[in-house]
């Protein structure tokens, strides 16, 4: 639809000029259509396209300067990722397509709600969608007040992301609490997860996804030869112990024992934070070695881990069960597909 010659009153009965939420790229307004439906209208800030291009140039200068001054710190991966992802995040039609794809892909999960897109009221800089309300996933008071089971939410969130990462290879990479809402469904009264902001997704290469699945299976059960083998296959090289610790946010002692067998302690968290500061050059080297598709997964893992920490469900046995099931599904499908291809070549 062309909006240039329309007034707000031509499209909406009401439009709340005070945004429901605002971020660096856009802000969201609540509005009501003439047919009575309530919608959320995401509007890109006027100068963000031009400003983002300037930001990339500044970032490139800074990254090169840091590398020149401190050769051990190589952050070109950060610049490359920003150049790749920024245009996608600024294209709201791409965000709408991502939302529809993940909604269809995970439609069997009744607990998941993805707002429907109003394509006739959307452009590259304006996205109009179904308005949905809920509390942020880290709002324990809201969940208690509304009778929402914290453990159920944590299990469902882990199950949903395990399927996205290990089985489907199409991953929503910005699950911070503002993008993950919870509520009681108005119709069924069941707990629901509302997934918002679909601008940043990572598509995983199938062979990468299967090696990543095999690595997690080894990490869960403490199979150290397997941890080394698949960490090396994913580009970590001789930094595979550091890679395992970064990936799991667990100590090397816990990784050796199997992360599903050792509970997370405050002492271990302090150890991880301390070592992160000590090994910054090695971490920088590692981030330059690993495949680029791993970088957004590391960010996603950290955001999900933060939610679990708030909900006090981190390292719960149920999360490892769901993760293992999805990893096994991914490996089994890959193995079966490979056997079928070999059988076809042999004329079987």
Give the active site residues.
Answer: 174
Query: How far is residue 156 CA from its own chain's centroid?
Result: 15
Nearest to 7 by CA among 47, 28, 39, 34: 34
Nearest Cα to Cα of residue 300 among 155, 176, 135: 176
DSSP SS3 for 134: coil
Per-residue tokens: 167 = 């089985």
Helix (H, G, I), strand (E, B) or coil at 199: coil
Full DSSP string of 33-101: ETTS-EEEEEEE-TTHHHHHHHHHHHHHHHHHHHHHH-TT---HHHHHHHHHHHHHHT-HHHHHHHHHH
DSSP 205-222: PHHHHHHHHHHHHHHHHT
Q: Are 173 and 130 in contact (CB under 8 A)?
A: no
Residue 256 is inside which H or E element, if any? helix 252-257
Give how far Cα 14 sits from Cα of 122, 125, 276, 282, 289, Å: 17, 20, 50, 55, 52
* 28 backbone dihedrals φ, ψ, rounded to 5°: -115, 130
**CB 147, CB 77: distance < 8 Å:** no
CA 11 – CA 231 distance, rounded (Å): 54
- Burial class, 38, CB count within 10 angstroms (exposed 0-12 / middle 13-18 / buried 19+): middle
Residue 129 three-state SS? strand
The helices-and-strands tally (H runs, E runs) of the chain is 14, 11
């Amino acid at each position: 639809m062309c909006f240039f010659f329309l007034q707000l009153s031509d499209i909406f009965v009401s439009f709340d000029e005070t945004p429901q939420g605002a971020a660096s790229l856009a802000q969201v307004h609540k509005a009501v259509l003439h047919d009575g439906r309530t919608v959320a209208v995401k509007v890109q800030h006027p100068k963000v396209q031009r400003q983002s291009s300037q930001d990339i140039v500044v970032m490139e200068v800074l990254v090169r300067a840091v590398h020149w001054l401190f050769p051990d710190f190589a952050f070109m991966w950060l610049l490359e990722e920003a150049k790749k992802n920024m245009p996608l995040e600024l294209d709201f039609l791409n965000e709408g397509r991502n939302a529809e794809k993940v909604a269809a892909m995970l439609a069997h999960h009744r607990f998941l709600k993805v707002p429907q897109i109003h394509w006739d009221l959307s452009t590259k800089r304006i996205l109009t969608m179904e308005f949905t309300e809920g509390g942020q996933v880290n709002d324990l008071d809201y969940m208690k007040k509304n009778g929402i089971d914290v453990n159920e939410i944590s299990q469902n969130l882990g199950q949903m992301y395990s399927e996205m990462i290990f089985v489907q290879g199409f991953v929503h990479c910005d699950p911070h609490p503002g993008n993950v809402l919870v509520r009681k469904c108005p119709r069924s009264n069941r707990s629901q997860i509302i997934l918002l902001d679909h601008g940043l997704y990572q598509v995983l290469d199938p062979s990468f996804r299967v090696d990543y699945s095999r690595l997690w299976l080894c990490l869960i059960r403490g199979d150290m030869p397997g941890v080394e083998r698949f960490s090396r296959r994913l580009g970590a090289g001789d930094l595979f112990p550091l890679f395992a610790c970064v990936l799991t946010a667990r100590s090397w002692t816990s990784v050796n024992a199997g992360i599903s067998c050792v509970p997370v302690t405050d002492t271990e968290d302090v150890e991880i934070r301390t070592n992160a500061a000590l090994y910054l050059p090695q971490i920088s080297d590692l981030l330059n070695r690993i495949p680029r598709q791993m970088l957004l997964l590391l960010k996603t893992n950290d955001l999900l881990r933060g939610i679990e920490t708030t909900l006090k469900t981190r390292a719960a046995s149920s999360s490892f069960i769901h993760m293992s099931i999805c990893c096994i599904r991914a490996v089994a499908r890959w193995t079966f597909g490979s056997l079928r291809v070999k059988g076809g070549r042999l004329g079987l």
